[in-house]
């Protein structure tokens, strides 16, 4: 899905003739910590507030600094000092206060107005020791109260924070206790104040609109490049992939904010705090006691933050207006938000999973193995699935042949086939990260006799290890799901902790 309003910023991957994009000239050289004083346009500013909320440094914020935070009447219910609560966090894309030079430098276009480009529900457990973050796809097709059917990100433009909150409450069934809005002018500064961020992409990214060009691998990004990484949609699953990247960036920033290098460095800590606070606007009740909430979260670690995504029935549905929109899996989404409303953990094993035999997965994690594809309707078409092929037979050419078979069947295989660690694979095995289950089922349907193996260490990646019984690839067709006939829900949604999201060398 492409969106004309999704113009990307200018980015620098490595060094180039232009160096870093600067929105204000500097007469003299300054250290990195001083960059927090420069204004830079940001789309994914939502990430800043989540990092602040989870940082144990936040308890020490002085009252004077907190006064930088703006307030707004969002029509939320509020909450007591304790107990479970839901916070709606939105990143607002506002461009009309930029100079033309800034717009040209960052390649953001000249559209005026405001829209929510990133939207997350942050659920705090009753004891405030656990955080669950659910990303809402910006192209979700919903009924906006009093305005008819629109993409969910249109609610802000049509009625501001109040209508945005009402829309989210209607579609999720949750009570929103607090509202956090992030000004788009702060994300780059937040990343810079933390000394950059480490990310890893399992697939190549080529985005001519932003100039972002990355091969699969791990990268250390500065603020401008991190912005481009968090907001590009130039991969197979478009906005859904972007959600995965944003969750990865949030996790990496949270890890940096909690690190001793930030907490014990007064200059870096002050720069981080000031950069973050300048981006925030919160509801009036939260503004009265933001420090109180921050103090309650001071012991949260990356192990305590869990990310989940709304189950999707159709990621490229055509609306009556001709737009490409996202339809949720109604049954699975209801179950997800019911569990959040009940303050239930999302990582409980289902009865079905408990009944299946377990196998040892790469990285030491045990996950149920499925020898055959399930009967659940497929939801992800081959042309949106990127896989890596490994030869597990030791027979020269088998990996390359399988790669060609997958390409002919419509799958994306960006890398040449490699070799598995061992050559004794009898059955072909499809190994996938926890968030690639639906994609893995499509691959399994295309490779007769293949086994599915969830492997936690793969993250967002998907691998096909060719075995001696491999007999080729057949084409599969994925029919768009209808809202009236949603895909059956799974009892346990795909989740990942912030720790699991962090890229490791």
Indicate whether this model's pTM tops 0.85. Answer: no
Strand 495-497 relative to strand 305-309: parallel, antiparallel, unpaired? antiparallel
Spatial distance between the Cα atoms of 2 and 324, rounded to a whole number of angstroms: 8
Q: How far apart are CA 123 and CA 119, in angstroms?
A: 13
Query: What are the counts of helices (DSSP H) followed by strands (DSSP E) for the chain?
Result: 16, 23
User: Do the Cβ atoms of 199 and 247 come closer than 8 Å?
Assistant: no
pLDDT at 505: 55
Spell out the domains of the chain, with CATH numbers in brackets.
70-342 (3.40.630.190), 382-466 (3.30.70.2390)
Q: What angle do CA 138, 119, 140 make, to 5 degrees?
A: 25
DSSP 41-84: --S-THHHHHHHHH-GGGGG--HHHHTTSEEE--------SSS-
Contact (CB, 8 A) for 458 and 432: yes
* DSSP-assigned letter for residue 241: H
pLDDT tens per residue across all 505 residues of the chain:
444 444 443 333 333 333 333 344 343 333 443 333 333 333 334 445 555 544 444 444 445 456 677 888 999 988 776 789 999 998 876 655 555 655 555 555 555 556 567 889 999 998 888 899 999 998 999 999 999 999 999 999 899 999 999 999 999 999 999 998 876 666 777 888 888 889 888 889 998 887 788 988 889 988 878 888 888 888 887 778 888 888 888 888 888 877 756 666 667 767 777 767 777 788 888 877 776 777 677 677 888 889 988 988 888 899 998 999 999 998 889 999 999 999 988 865 433 333 333 333 333 333 444 443 334 678 888 888 889 999 999 999 999 999 999 999 999 898 899 999 999 999 999 999 887 888 899 999 999 989 999 888 888 789 999 999 999 999 888 865 443 333 333 445 677 788 887 776 5
Residue 167 exposed, middle or buried by CB count within 10 Å (0-12, 13-18, 19+) = buried
Q: What CA–CA distance (Å, rounded) separates 241 from 220?
A: 19
Enumerate the H helices of 363-436 as residue ranges.
398-408
The dihedrals phi and psi of 94, each to the nearest 5 degrees, come to: -120, 125
CB 406 within 8 A of CB 387: yes
Minimal CA–CA distance to 276: which of 266, 268, 265, 285?
268
User: d(Cα 248, Cα 498) in Å, to the nearest integer?
Assistant: 8
Measured CA to CA, the distance from residue 40 to residue 148 in angstroms comes to: 35
What token pair was written down for 459?
Answer: 């993250």
Q: How far is CA 137 from CA 15, 69, 219, in A?
A: 33, 26, 25
Q: Quote the Cα angle for 53-55-60, to 5°.
A: 95
């Amino acid at each position: 899905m492409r969106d004309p309003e999704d113009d990307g910023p200018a980015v620098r991957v490595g060094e180039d003739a232009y160096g870093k994009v600067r929105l204000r000239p500097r007469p003299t050289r300054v250290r990195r910590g001083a960059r927090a004083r420069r204004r830079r346009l940001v789309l994914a500013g939502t990430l800043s507030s989540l990092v602040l909320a989870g940082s144990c440094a936040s308890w020490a914020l002085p009252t004077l600094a907190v006064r930088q935070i703006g307030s707004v009447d969002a029509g939320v219910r509020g909450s007591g000092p304790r107990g479970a609560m839901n916070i709606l966090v939105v990143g607002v894309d506002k461009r009309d206060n930029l100079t033309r030079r800034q717009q040209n430098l960052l390649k953001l276009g000249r559209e005026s107005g405001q829209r929510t480009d990133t939207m997350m529900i942050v659920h705090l457990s009753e004891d405030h020791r656990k955080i669950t973050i659910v990303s809402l796809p910006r192209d979700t097709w919903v009924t906006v109260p009093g305005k008819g059917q629109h993409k969910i990100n249109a609610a802000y433009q049509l009625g501001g924070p109040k209508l945005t909150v009402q829309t989210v409450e209607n579609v999720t069934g949750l009570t929103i206790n607090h509202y956090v809005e992030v000004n788009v002018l702060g994300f780059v500064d937040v990343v810079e104040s933390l000394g950059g961020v480490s990310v890893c992409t399992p697939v190549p990214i080529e985005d001519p609109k932003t100039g972002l060009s990355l091969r699969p691998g791990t990268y250390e990004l500065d603020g401008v490049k991190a912005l481009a990484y968090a907001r590009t949609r130039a991969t197979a699953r478009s906005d859904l992939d972007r959600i995965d990247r944003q969750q990865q960036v949030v996790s990496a920033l949270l890890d940096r904010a909690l690190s001793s290098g930030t907490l014990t460095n007064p200059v870096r800590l002050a720069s981080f705090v000031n950069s973050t606070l300048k981006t925030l606007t919160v509801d009036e009740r939260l503004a009265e006691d933001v420090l109180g909430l921050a103090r309650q979260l001071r012991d949260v670690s990356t192990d305590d933050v869990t990310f989940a995504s709304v189950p999707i029935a159709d990621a490229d549905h055509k609306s009556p207006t001709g737009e490409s929109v996202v339809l949720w899996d109604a049954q699975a989404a209801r179950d997800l938000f019911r569990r959040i409303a009940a303050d239930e953990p999302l990582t409980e094993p289902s009865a079905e999973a408990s009944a299946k035999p377990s196998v040892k997965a790469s990285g030491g994690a045990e996950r149920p193995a499925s020898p055959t594809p399930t009967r659940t309707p497929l939801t992800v078409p081959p042309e949106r699935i990127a896989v890596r092929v490994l030869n597990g037979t030791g027979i020269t050419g088998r990996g390359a042949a399988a790669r060609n078979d997958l390409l002919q069947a419509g799958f994306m295989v960006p890398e040449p086939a490699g070799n598995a660690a061992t050559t004794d694979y009898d059955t072909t095995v499809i190994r996938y990260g926890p968030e690639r289950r639906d994609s893995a089922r499509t691959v399994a349907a295309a490779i007769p006799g293949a086994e599915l193996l969830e492997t936690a260490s793969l993250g967002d990646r998907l691998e096909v290890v060719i075995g001696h019984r491999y007999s080729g690839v057949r084409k599969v067709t994925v029919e768009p799901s209808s809202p009236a006939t949603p895909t059956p829900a799974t009892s346990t949604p795909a989740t990942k902790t912030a720790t699991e999201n962090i890229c490791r060398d």
